[in-house]
Amino acid sequence: MGTETGAIRARTPGPAEVPAEGPAAGPAEDSVDRHIARWTGKVPFDVPTEAVITRIQLLAKHVSHGKERALAETGLQAFEFETMHRLASRGAPWRAPSAELAAELLLSPAGMTGRLDTLEKSGLVRRLRAAADRRRVDVELTEEGRRRWTDAMRWRGIAEAEMIGPLDDAERAALAALLKRMLLSVETR
């Protein structure tokens, strides 16, 4: 390891410790450490800020890849999963008015109709006329739709557990609190 990387690490507070293989093991270098070393002296930036933001960006990419793997494992497309996810969030009987779903998914009525046609042909949802108002169409997850959604959620859970696995319960709680503080600051501007 070069001196430049060591100097950067000294300015970066609290580098993550990787579980040691032996008593002499120390902080591991990740791709962000190398990124910072590559850019130091070339452009002005605050090292701790760059380290945090770049790690968040890379972790977000890993979360996205985990979601993609979950969809691949279950043979679902993102739009199918997202629609079923909205239905599943309501709990039994896993049903919602079509217009309500369209609004949540930011879809036009025509876009919602096309999406529901595809999901219905695949046997993942069914459309029902509302008993109280025959003009209203409710959308309901079928047993197959619920099974496939549950399977995709299980695969997503596996990917997320692998990502957060290196942290113990106290570290997870501390990280969640720090990220919440950051997010609240951005959301309340």
Report, at the CATH architecture level, how domain 78-151 is classified: Orthogonal Bundle (1.10)
Structure tokens at 25: 């093991």
Please report the pLDDT score of residue 95 as a whole number: 93
- Residue-wise pLDDT tens digits, 155-186: 999 999 999 999 999 999 999 999 999 999 99
Q: What is the pLDDT of residue 110?
A: 93
Residue-wise pLDDT tens digits, 9-56: 333 333 344 444 444 555 789 999 999 999 988 889 889 999 999 999
For the chain, give every domain's residue range: 78-151
Q: Where are the alpha helices (DSSP H) in 30-135?
A: 31-39, 47-74, 78-88, 98-104, 109-121
What sign has the CA pseudo-torsion 74, 75, 78, 84?
A: negative
Per-residue pLDDT averaged across 134-138, rounded?
85
Say if residue 75's pLDDT is above 70.
Answer: yes
Q: Report the chain's mean pLDDT, rounded to a whole number.
A: 86
Say which residue the tokens 């450490």 belong to: 33
| pLDDT score, position 26 | 59
